[in-house]
Amino acid sequence: MVETSGTCTDQFAPVREALAASLDDKDVGASVAVFLDGEPVVDLWGGHIDEARTVPWERDTIINTWSTTKTMTALSALVLADRGDLDLDAPVARYWPEFAANGKDDVLVRHLLGHTAGLPTWDEPMTVEDLYDWPTATARLAAQAPAWKPGTEGGYHAITYGYLVGEVVRRVTGRTLGAFFAEEIAGPLGADFHIGLSAEHDHRVAPVIPPPRRPLDPDRALSADRPGNPPLPPRTANTEAWRRAGIPAVNGHGNARSVAAVQSVLACGGTARGVRLLSEAGCERALEEQFAGTDSVLGMPMRWGMGYGLGGGQLPNPRTCSWGGWGGSMVLVDMDARLTVAYVMNRMLDADGLGDDRAFLILAAAYEGLSG
């Protein structure tokens, strides 16, 4: 059995066993964190950062987390809403006037957060380089017509989500989403999560390891049947240009500790480790259902809250929200148990962006520990 490093209370020993088993089987390198009542009870890592297994995964190793980044973007909007700076029920055009073009004057901010805005991709083909050009990416979204009547249908906004929510945040605060998140959320919490990574951190980044074969349906909205999004090979995440860009839907860099540290605020009524970012009512807004039904992009049943996927009864507690990243990373927030579980790894599996059994087994082990 592969050895793990870090700390784990006796109560949550099943999590250590689950991580060790995963590293012994499917994982190359990974980290897992569990926070209870806002405090870390599991902070573990193990394996290697390279496919050849020559360089160990360290305590402060970080990696591109793909769509787990969306939870950070959603939390940023919830913080602004709780402060009274952003009205989630207001038209997007109140903050971003150009967005009203082509019949989008009735798109509300909550439609952006809940994947119901009708802008799951760009109308015209984008290149990866276009993703690095914020004015181009956002102007094209502002100009195009919605694919459906906003608010009536759910369709996963795999990449556009970050530009849509991020531009609203920029218009409200005068700062990029990455800067706002760093200064108002990650900074106060001491969380090592970055949306737009500076060069000083490059030496700590584990390269993304692509799936053994090309996924048949990578995050679905990233795939070729959605022509507005650029083809996005997994190794794109290993480039300097990708790391430097601010792509608030998919290019956040962190580890399980930092992911759980941030999202534990939501699990604990807005306060964690002495830092208050939201009121209890502000946290509850994450659970407001925006859509329930078959997601037209993912092609599967989904319940969308305000920036998070909502539990569908398969979890012990109803006040639970979560999301994960292409290839397997995941974070879950259980407001009833005041529990946060995060899993981040470097080897992607043939998944559709909704996780695989590695994250599920980690989650099951966390609930096993919680139940004693």
Report CA-CA distances (Å) from 333 to 101, 150, 247, 341.
Answer: 36, 27, 23, 7
Closest CA to 37 of 65, 63, 11, 6: 11
127 in Cβ contact with 233 (< 8 Å) = no
Give the type of residue at 296. S
Handedness of CA 77, 222, 290, 359 (dihedral sign): negative
Read off the pLDDT of each residue in 183-194 and give the average, rounded to a whole number: 98
Strand partners, 46: 4, 30
Report yes or no on 84 lying in a domain.
no
Terminal-to-terminal C-alpha distance of the chain = 24
Other beta carbons less than 10 A from residue 44's beta carbon: 25
DSSP 8-state symbol, 102: G
Domain count, the chain: 1
Report yes or no on 265 lying in a domain.
yes
Report yes or no on 160 lying in a domain.
no
Query: CA-to-CA distance for 257 and 33, rounded, in angstroms?
Result: 5
Domain range for residue 279? 4-74+178-371
Q: What is the pLDDT of residue 218?
A: 41
Report yes or no on 68 lying in a domain.
yes
Is the confidence at residue 222, as pLDDT, over 50?
no
CATH number of the domain enclosing 58: 3.40.710.10
158 in Cβ contact with 353 (< 8 Å) = yes
Tokens 């980290």 identify what position?
Answer: 31
Report yes or no on 295 lying in a domain.
yes
Three-class secondary structure of residue 62 per DSSP: strand
Tokens 């959605």 identify what position?
Answer: 226
Q: CB-based contacts of 239: which residues, under 8 Å, 6+ apart?
A: none
Stated pTM of the model:
0.95
262 in Cβ contact with 185 (< 8 Å) = yes
Read off the pLDDT of each residue in 100-123 and give the average, rounded to a whole number: 97
Structure tokens at 174: 């005068």
Report yes or no on 347 lying in a domain.
yes
pLDDT tens string 325-355:
999 999 999 999 999 999 999 999 865 545 5
Q: What is the pLDDT of residue 372?
A: 83
Q: How many CA atoms lie within 13 A of 40 on its CB side?
A: 18
Report H helices in 210-315. 240-244, 256-267, 280-284
Taking each helix axis as running N to C, give the angle between helix 69-83 and helix 256-267, from 0 to 180 degrees, rounded to the nearest 10.
Answer: 30
Strand partners, 321: 310, 333
Indicate the average pLDDT of the chain: 93
Read off the pLDDT of each residue in 221-236 and give the average, rounded to a whole number: 71
307 in Cβ contact with 78 (< 8 Å) = yes
Q: How many whole angstroms from its chain centre is CA 105?
A: 28
107 in Cβ contact with 97 (< 8 Å) = no
Q: What is the pLDDT of residue 215?
A: 45
Closest CA to 366 of 310, 307, 320: 320
Give the pLDDT band (50/70/90) at residue 74.
very high
Strand partners, 45: 5, 31
Report H helices in the chain. 13-25, 69-83, 109-113, 128-131, 134-143, 160-173, 177-181, 187-189, 240-244, 256-267, 280-284, 357-371
pLDDT tens string 148-173:
999 999 999 999 999 999 999 999 99
Q: What is the pLDDT of residue 300?
A: 92
Give the type of residue at 89. D
Report yes or no on 35 lying in a domain.
yes
Q: How many CA atoms lie within 13 A of 248 on its CB side?
A: 29
Q: What is the pLDDT of residue 219?
A: 44
313 in Cβ contact with 301 (< 8 Å) = no
Report yes or no on 263 lying in a domain.
yes
